[in-house]
Amino acid sequence: MAFSEQQYYEISEELQLVKKEISKFIVGQEEAVEYILYSILADGHALLEGLPGLGKTMLIRTVSEVLDLSFSRIQFTPDLMPTDITGTNIIERAENGKQQFVFQQGPIFSQMVLADEINRATPKTQSALLEAMGEKTVTILGDTKKMARPFFVLATQNPIEMEGTYPLPEAQMDRFLCKILVPYPSKTELIEIMKRTTGAEEIALEKIMNSERLILVQQMVKEVLVADEMMEYAVSIVVATHPGGEDALPEVKDYVMYGSGPRGLQSIIKLAKARAVMNGRFHVSIADIKSVAKPALRHRMMLNYEGEASGKTVDDLIEELLSIKQGARL
């Protein structure tokens, strides 16, 4: 292993400082902060879902500031065009008087891109992100351009039952490493939010990391050890999400249209590795896998009509899978 146990411990301490610095400005939302950081450490993209006004945009902006990453925000609207995201060629007059095409970069060329209310844009515009998220390149008129490094898309979306939303295509949903649910704040948190946002005091955030340091941590995450039994446990969970599987739960067979593909397994392992590093370890534990299973799988399982009518949520089914699979191992 290229990194020592001491290095993992030191990185863990540094990441705790990152969390502490974010909490200076963001009230509550500890779970959302953790999973955003896991996604970033695992070099993946995250989707945040919650009602408008819960601070999703401010949370992402704060994370980019503490990690010292270049930041851009794309407000998705029904009239947004793909070129508004990727950029386009424009005609400029050169010094010699001749006209030439010059590429004008779009907001996608930042290290951290906030795709705000992504499900308010049309599917055509949503798909403009697919290549950038999957391949980390953008192709315009046959010319392929590389994204910044590191590169993350953190998207926010409103619940699909709200007016003016377009459900994200399954292919695009699958590009997100995890889906994070942003809950409504408690009474105590609401009081603290008011104190911080309506008072005269301004909160200055300290930059704890930079892009070079973050790339190093991402390499450390990749080298975290995953024992065979941990891998088998993760595989058994993903296989059990399929209604046609031999050991699928009766409720999965009755309520699920389709389960997770291989990307779901990749997401569990990547997020579990990131969680291990956050906790100063260089090996994945059962607790890591159980902790990340819901955000890794909740957007990769589709309920059928009976499932929707039953009142069951995907999270409920994943919780049952985890308890049964854990019991089977014991």
The predicted pLDDT at position 321 comes to: 84
Are residues 233 and 190 part of one domain?
Answer: no
Q: What is the average pLDDT across 2-15?
A: 83
Task: Name the residue among 218, 194, 196, 180 with its Cα closest to residue 3.
Answer: 218
Q: Label the pairing between strands 71-75 and 152-157.
A: unpaired
**289 or 308: whose pLDDT is higher?**
289
**54 or 210: whose pLDDT is higher?**
210
Are residues 236 and 283 part of one domain?
Answer: yes
Are residues 139 and 201 part of one domain?
Answer: yes
Q: Which domain holds residue 274?
A: 224-329
Residue finishing a domain among 210, 234, 263? 210
In a domain? residue 172:
yes
The predicted pLDDT at position 329 comes to: 52
Are residues 304 and 262 part of one domain?
Answer: yes
Question: How does the average pLDDT of the chain come out, rounded?
Answer: 82
The model's pTM is 0.86
The predicted pLDDT at position 231 comes to: 92
What tens digit of pLDDT does each residue of 145-202 get? 788 888 888 888 877 655 556 677 777 788 899 999 887 877 887 787 777 777 666 7
Token pair in block for residue 249: 């739960």
What tens digit of pLDDT does each residue of 92-128 get? 777 777 777 777 778 888 888 888 888 787 777 777 7
Q: Where does the pLDDT of residue 42 fall: very low under 50, low under 70, confident under 90, or very high at 90 and above? A: very high
What's the CATH number where 250 sits?
Answer: 1.10.8.80
Are residues 155 and 231 part of one domain?
Answer: no
Are residues 158 and 272 part of one domain?
Answer: no
If one counts the domains in the chain, the total is 2
Are residues 190 and 157 part of one domain?
Answer: yes
- Res. 272: pLDDT tops 90: yes
Are residues 244 and 183 part of one domain?
Answer: no
- Res. 280: pLDDT tops 80: yes
In a domain? residue 85:
no
The predicted pLDDT at position 330 comes to: 43
What's the CATH number where 9 sits?
Answer: 3.40.50.300
Q: Where does the pLDDT of residue 284 fall: very low under 50, low under 70, confident under 90, or very high at 90 and above? A: very high
**159 or 66: whose pLDDT is higher?**
66
Distance CA 93, CA 70 (A): 30
Distance CA 68, CA 48 (A): 21
**63 or 29: whose pLDDT is higher?**
63
Distance CA 99, CA 264 (A): 49
Cα-based distances in Å from 324 to 210, 248, 287, 329: 42, 11, 15, 9
In a domain? residue 102:
no
Distance CA 130, CA 134 (A): 6
In a domain? residue 49:
yes
**Matching residue, tokens 């993760």:** 234
Token pair in block for residue 42: 């695992």
